[in-house]
């Protein structure tokens, strides 16, 4: 909402490929599982009224953060939202639109649901209910487990059909770069560029941040993201996706379609958040994400290294959805 105070950077060299989290003995990359840095929350509501060009909405920070009435800046940009998407149901079923947004494209820390099949979305919610789907960093999936557990099948089906009928759009711009902005992780586990924070080497990371941090924090549905990936990673990912890397995995198009836009209930990969995709491959490989819809993926990711996942996600994220 407001520019956050700049924290002094204690070290000039970033944690490039080292682990940030350990879950059940699995070393996880810090960039794929961002968790809010201490002291980087938004602070108390100071009464500021926020505006966005092209919108008549005039919310305060408290209203923007309302889990049961998140802002809909541009209601003409999408079909009318069902009640469960727009407002949820108190006390535990938060509005789907808060994290996934009215257009379904979400943020890197939440799933892009637009255009997925309704049956696929429905099954993912059932997997959250049963514990078949969770994150290697439990705090990242606790809210979805709680929401799913309190949701009725009717609410899940209504929300799934709404998101399934939304158009897929390019929401993440991919850039290969050796140097990237110094970043921090703010409220909602969203990564941002440090104001006046300078640049640092990308190393073996994907750094995904809003094009406009202020707009993203306001949950502006016209405020997209940029993902920086290491130089050469898109071409490497294309080679691995197309060939399977000489038996390391199988060509992605066999299941996800020749254009990687999905087949039936198999989700499309083209144009999705690359950080999100790495996180899903890690969760599947190490057993946090299971269920019938991902059973076939276990063998696909079994021999993939974190660098393999990075380049695959970079390539898929670079494509038009």
Nearest to 72 by CA among 61, 84, 58, 92: 58
Share of residues in the chain with pLDDT > 70 (%):
93
pLDDT digits (tens, 9 = 90+) for 252-282: 999 999 999 999 999 999 999 999 999 999 9
Structure-derived torsion over alpha carbons of residues 214, 106, 67, 63, reported in degrees to the nearest 10: 30
Q: What is the mean pLDDT of residues 164-183?
A: 98
DSSP helix/strand/coil, 184: strand
The H or E element containing residue 19 is strand 19-23
Q: b vs e for 2-29, b when ≥16 Cβ sit within 10 Å of the residue's Cβ?
A: eebeeeeeeeeebeeeeeebebeeeebb
pLDDT given at position 13: 36
Q: Hey, which residues does 203 pair with through a beta bridge?
A: none
- Number of helices (H), then strands (E), in the chain: 12, 9
- Answer yes or no: are the C-beta atoms of 216 and 190 closer than 8 Å: yes
pLDDT digits (tens, 9 = 90+) for 106-116: 999 999 999 99
pLDDT given at position 22: 55
d(CA 224, CA 231): 22
pLDDT digits (tens, 9 = 90+) for 301-310: 999 999 999 9
Contacts of 130 (CB under 8 A, 6+ apart): 291
Q: Locate the domains of the chain by residue range.
A: 19-42+170-318, 61-164
Predicted model pTM: 0.92
Q: Hey, which residues does 48 pair with through a beta bridge?
A: none
Q: What is the mean pLDDT of residues 19-35?
A: 78
pLDDT given at position 3: 39
The H or E element containing residue 287 is none
CATH number, span 61-164: 1.10.760.10
- Answer yes or no: are the C-beta atoms of 302 and 248 closer than 8 Å: no
Same fold, 19-42+170-318 and 61-164: yes
pLDDT given at position 89: 98
Q: What is the mean pLDDT of residues 246-255?
A: 97
Share of residues in the chain with pLDDT > 90 (%):
88
pLDDT digits (tens, 9 = 90+) for 39-70: 999 899 999 999 999 999 999 999 999 999 99
DSSP helix/strand/coil, 181: strand
The H or E element containing residue 192 is strand 191-193
| pLDDT confidence tier of residue 292, bands split at 50, 70 and 90 | confident
pLDDT given at position 181: 98
Q: What is the mean pLDDT of residues 136-162?
A: 96
d(CA 230, CA 314): 9
What is the CATH class of 19-42+170-318?
mainly alpha
Query: How high is the mean pLDDT of the chain?
Result: 92
In this model, does residue 17 exceed pLDDT 90? no
| pLDDT confidence tier of residue 21, bands split at 50, 70 and 90 | low
């Amino acid at each position: 909402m407001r520019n956050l105070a700049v924290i002094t950077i204690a070290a000039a060299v970033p944690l490039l490929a080292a682990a940030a989290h350990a879950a059940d003995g699995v070393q996880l990359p810090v960039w794929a599982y961002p968790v809010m840095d201490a002291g980087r929350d938004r602070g108390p509501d100071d009464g500021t009224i926020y505006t966005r060009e092209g919108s008549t909405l005039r919310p305060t920070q408290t209203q923007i953060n309302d889990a049961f009435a998140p802002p809909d800046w541009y209601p003409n940009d999408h079909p009318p939202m069902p009640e469960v998407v727009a407002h949820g149901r108190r006390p535990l079923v938060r509005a789907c639109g808060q994290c996934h947004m009215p257009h379904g494209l979400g943020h890197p820390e939440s799933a892009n649901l637009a255009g997925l099949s309704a049956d696929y979305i429905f099954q993912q919610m059932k997997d959250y209910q049963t514990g078949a789907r969770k994150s290697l960093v439990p705090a990242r999936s606790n809210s979805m487990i709680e929401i799913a557990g309190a949701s009725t099948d009717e609410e899940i089906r209504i929300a799934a059909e709404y998101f399934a009928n939304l158009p897929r759009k390019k929401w993440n711009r991919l850039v290969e770069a050796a140097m990237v902005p110094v970043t921090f992780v703010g409220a909602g586990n969203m990564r941002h560029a440090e104001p006046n924070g300078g640049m640092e080497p990308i190393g073996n990371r994907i750094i995904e941040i809003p094009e406009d941090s202020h707009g993203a924090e306001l949950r502006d549905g016209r405020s997209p993201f940029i993902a920086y990936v290491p130089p050469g990673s898109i071409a490497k990912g294309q080679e691995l996706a197309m060939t399977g890397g000489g038996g390391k995995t199988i060509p992605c198009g066999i299941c996800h379609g020749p254009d990687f836009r999905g087949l039936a209930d198999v989700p499309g990969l083209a144009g999705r958040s690359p950080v999100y995709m790495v996180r899903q491959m890690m969760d599947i490989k190490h057993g946090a994400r299971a269920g019938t819809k991902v059973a076939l993926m276990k063998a696909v990711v079994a021999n993939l290294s974190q660098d393999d996942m990075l380049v695959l996600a970079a390539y898929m994220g670079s494509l038009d959805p």
